Amino acid sequence: MRQALAILVGCFVFVVPSRGEESPFPDGSTPRQYGGLMILRQGNQTTLSLGGVLFPRRVRVTTATPEGPVVTRFVLPSTLRSPHSVPLPRSAPALLQVEIPDDYGLLYIEGDLVRTRGTVRHLQSPELPPGVAYPLHLRGAFKVGDNLLIQDMQVQIRAGESTTATFDGTGAVTVRLP
């Protein structure tokens, strides 16, 4: 019984990617990043969606009109049975290129010292799930002339994407070196 329940739950976890423009949720994510039962309300329209990988996704859209509610129903094929199915997204590392003006400048990511050298440093994250932005706090401490500059910045990384962070001294704290 538990195995059958686990299979049924697994069938409703994944979403078939829809075609066309998707309206994002308030946090910036799109409906295709979620699965199972979804209830979306926008203006005078309510969308109820249920389905997943093994079973077809059944969608019911109810629109409130002056004449009464109009109900539209349609079925999307399951991901495993669709001839045009998009493969399930896979996790991938994010790439981060950090540009710092001092070869021996210090670089901290989330408070941890990253032991690298050079004016351009290429870093790779562990495998990340797709579609999610991860904020990183970077701190660079580098020498420019007779001054030590300490600069903080926030960057967003995503799986499979490359991001560049440039420490140029803008907004940096300056400490005069003896």
Mean pLDDT (whole number) for 158-172: 92
- Indicate the residue among 76, 107, 125 that finishes a domain: 76
Q: Indicate whether 27 pLDDT > 70.
A: no
- For residues 134-149, average pLDDT: 94
Q: Are residues 100 and 151 in the same domain?
A: yes
**At 142, which helix (H) or strand (E)?**
strand 134-144
Per the confidence metrics, is the pTM higher than 0.75?
no
When pLDDT is cut at 50, 70 and 90, the band that residue 132 belongs to is: confident
CB-based contact 75:57 (threshold 8 Å): yes
- What is the tally of structural domains in the chain? 2
Mean pLDDT of the chain: 79
Distance from C-alpha of 140 to C-alpha of 102, rounded to nearest angstrom: 10
Lowest-confidence pick of 4-18, 40-54, 107-121, 128-142: 4-18
- Write out the residue range of the structural domain in which residue 127 sits: 95-176
Closest CA to 31 of 54, 1, 4, 51: 51
Q: Both 119 and 147 in a single domain?
A: yes
Domain end position, chosen among 76, 107, 133:
76
Residue 124 is assigned to a structural domain of this protein: yes
Q: In the predicted model, what is the mean pLDDT of residues 2-28?
A: 48
Q: Where is 7: in which H helix or E strand?
A: helix 2-11
The bridge status of strand 45-50 relative to strand 57-65 is antiparallel
- Residue 54's nearest CA partner among 17, 6, 12, 4 is 12
Q: Which of 15-19, 39-43, 96-100, 144-148 has the lowest mean pLDDT?
A: 15-19
Final residue in a domain of this structure, among 17, 44, 76? 76
User: In this predicted model, which residue has the larger pLDDT, 2 or 71?
Assistant: 71
Whether the pLDDT of residue 117 is over 60: the answer is yes
Task: Give yes or no: residues 49 and 101 share one domain.
Answer: no
